[in-house]
Structure 1
Amino acid sequence: MTQQLAPAIDRAFARSFVDCSVRPHADAWDRAGRIPEELLDEIAAAGLWAPFLPAALGGSGIDMVTLGEIHEEVGRGCSSVRSLLTVHTMLSWALQRFGTDAQIQQWGPELAAGRTLGAFCLSEPGAGSDTAAITTTAVPHKGGWLLNGVKKWTTNGQRADLLLVFAKRPASTIALLVPSNAPGVLVNPIDDMLGTRSSMLAEIAFSDVELGPESLLGPSGFASGMVLTGTLDLGRYSVAAGSVGIIQACIDACANYAAQRRVGGTPLRDLPLIQAKLSDMVTDVRAARLLLAEAGRLKDRGDAATIMATWIAKYFASTAAARHASEAVQIHGANGCSPEFPVGRFYRDAKVMEIIEGSTEIQRMTIAAEAYRKWEP
């Protein structure tokens, strides 16, 4: 009897999964403001929560280029689902990269299997993701830590089991692994957002949360320079991939609509202005995909240049997604403003991509600073 091999975790596998289990339901989830548990279980069964983790932990050991392709496909189907994958990926990667053997053995298999879902807690009310303005504190307490503060805009905060929390101590920033069911953790759902409406956002308050010494991820004082930088870079990479997926979704929706819609007896697809909009989408999606692949290859090589490559990929892909999602609504006309067509969701989700994991303005400043640094005499 021939043993049947498990399917490879790659773009084709992700595309099939998304077309079957995600894309047909994304609009309904957007209206409900929540991803159903059934889908979370399906993602786990498909091995898509953290497929980059090694096989020893239950992952598939895929490379970063492939991870970007998977997140693109998921973003094509539903930006909210991709957002859940993003924050889970950030926590899982940080654990693998900076965790102790005991932490990795405790949490790695759980994260890979999707039995434990992760979230990333950095942003705060009034401070956003400005790390210098963090007010959440962690003070030494009984050999461990006492955590107090509030985090906001936490993707999957309503559902996550394990939180990666960044907090201030007197001389440094530290990263802590905090179970969401720990005494003193209070989760307040955030609903009715503009975009990624089913990403289950939450404000999370920490009131005298007692944590043991094993909760510290990485050496004390190490977080702001390494854990935070590397983790945010991977989150930015996933958002760039999701933005590419939004552009592709716009192409698919507009090509289909323009082939069926007629204006004055002429198919919409034959109108030169419509063709111009589609040609710009096709060109930009290929350019964005290439920028993303470059960033992924640099990650796989361990090249520090991946940081800037990811900034550039995210800037180009997110601004292009916002631009083309707007054009997608325009092509659909009044139908584009209706919940009967997905382009309105693309439009709202694409706007969010220009804000999260580094706003467009911050990206421009960062990219320009790199140009000045590289070319100054």
Structure 2
Amino acid sequence: MRARTRPETPEVEVVGRFVDEEVCPQADAWDRAENIPGDVLRRVGELGLWAPFLPAEAGGAGLDMVTLGRLHEEVGRGCSSLRSLLTVHTMATATVQRWGDDEQRERWLPVLSEGTTLGAFCLTEPDHSGSDSTAAGTVAVAENGVWTLRGRKTWITGGQVAGLFLVFAGTATGMSAFLVPSDHPGVRVTPVRHMLGTTASMLATIEFDDVRLDPSALVGPPGWAAGTVMTGALDLGRYSVACGSVGIVRAALAASAAYTSARSAGGGLLRDLPQIRAKISEMVTARDAARLLCEKAGRLKDAGDPATIMATWVAKYFASTAAAKAASDAVQIHGANGCGPDYPVARLYRDAKVMEIIEGSTQIQELTIADEAYREVSG
């Protein structure tokens, strides 16, 4: 891979100012428009946020996972749709870095690191449960050295703007992963509108109509993706969602503290009511506890410890449910104003519900975490 100039390492404080000045003021407008403008996405690239975890020779800044999590927390504080784009791009880019061959890394990592090509993660299908990652109606058939890809993926975050799809498909030997450019013949992209939350994340349904791929599109050996590529990518996605959920808690807390400090009821400020102070205290505690769980998962990732998989499940479970509770309380605190378009808490409420579903639903997490607890007890 050709040598590249090492970019400035994104700093949490710098990204925090970007979120305060350029994201928070526009997030509700993006939500209503169901779109994030291209100049914002380019600004994300200027800040080095698309793939700062890549090594310098691949166009990144060699950022550690704990700091990456804090960056995704900051972006999630301002706009979960924008953070969702970072999430799926991270999943696709990290897959190319870890499992791609030299040719795939040379072709894709430079443009992915710059954000001139955005990546999307194509796993969920309309006719199968989103929680069953092993079910695949999409198939790829090999014949005479050429793969033919057929099927449909849906709820694909960033699908409207992505230039590269990481596609999972059933093959004769099991689940396989393919890198498919969005402009490849036979690929059709249909926008998905009017979602409950993360409405600006530019979701799409992607159809593959006899898409012919040469062997260079395959990531790793055929039938190899389920236990390797998929597991690693989903773990990173889950980590990003967990960190972004901490951001939602922070945003709900800030909005609630500001509102109750300015709003009067019964001759005094809302902030003086015991019920309000109890909710604020819960948000502060949830913010700090969720962040600590995310930091633990990040440290284990940096150490290469396989325990990071379960730590990330726990972090995502706690942080996403905490975000849903904090956002719900924030709407309650705002009363009728919380249900309208003039305050951000309605958007936070809708986005937080999505966090309880994506990258492993709350119920799937409860099963997974409990299974681990029973394994520990049984020795």
Corresponding residue SS for 1:294? helix
The one-letter code of the counterpart of 2:272 is D
Q: Is the 8 A contact 1:7 1:13 kept in 2?
A: no
Alignment match, 2:124: 123
Alignment match, 1:268: 270
Alignment match, 2:43: 42
The one-letter code of the counterpart of 2:166 is L
Following TM superposition, the consecutive aligned residue runs of length 4 or more in structure 1 with deviations greater than 2 angstroms are 5-8
TM-score normalised by the chain length of structure 1: 0.97
Corresponding residue SS for 1:224? coil
Alignment match, 1:303: 305
Structure 1 runs not aligned, ≥5 long: none
Aligned equivalents of 1:238, 1:256: Cα separation in 2: 27
Q: Is the 8 A contact 1:145 1:212 kept in 2?
A: yes
Q: Is the 8 A contact 1:90 1:120 kept in 2?
A: yes
Identity %: 60
The one-letter code of the counterpart of 1:42 is R
Alignment match, 2:60: 59
1:132: how far off? Answer: 2.7
TM-score normalised by the chain length of structure 2: 0.97
Q: Is the 8 A contact 2:7 2:48 kept in 1?
A: no
Among candidates 332, 336, 339, match of residue 337 of structure 1: 339
Q: Which moved more, 1:174-183 or 1:51-60?
A: 51-60
Alignment match, 2:285: 283
Aligned equivalents of 1:154, 1:7: Cα separation in 2: 30
Q: Is the 8 A contact 1:244 1:321 kept in 2?
A: yes
Alignment match, 1:314: 316
The one-letter code of the counterpart of 1:193 is M
Alignment match, 2:3: none
Alignment match, 2:325: 323
1:8: how far off? Answer: 3.6
Corresponding residue SS for 1:167? strand
Are 2:2 and 1:10 aligned? no
Q: Is the 8 A contact 2:196 2:351 kept in 1?
A: yes
Alignment match, 1:82: 83
The one-letter code of the counterpart of 1:340 is D
Deviations 1:94-153 (A, max 9, x none): 110101011101100100000110000000012133123211000113413110000011
Structure 2 runs not aligned, ≥5 long: 1-5
Corresponding residue SS for 2:316? helix
Deviations 1:143-188 (A, max 9, x none): 1311000001100011100000000011211000000000000111
Aligned equivalents of 1:128, 1:35: Cα separation in 2: 28
Deviations 1:211-259 (A, max 9, x none): 1110011122221110000100000000001100000000110111111
Corresponding residue SS for 1:193? coil
Q: Is the 8 A contact 2:140 2:148 kept in 1?
A: yes
Aligned equivalents of 2:367, 2:127: Cα separation in 1: 22
Aligned length: 373
Q: Which moved more, 1:201-210 or 1:134-143?
A: 134-143
| Structure 1 vs Structure 2 CA RMSD | 1.1
1:6: how far off? Answer: 7.0
Deviations 1:18-65 (A, max 9, x none): 112211100000000111111111111111111111111211110000
The one-letter code of the counterpart of 1:92 is T
Q: Is the 8 A contact 1:141 1:210 kept in 2?
A: no
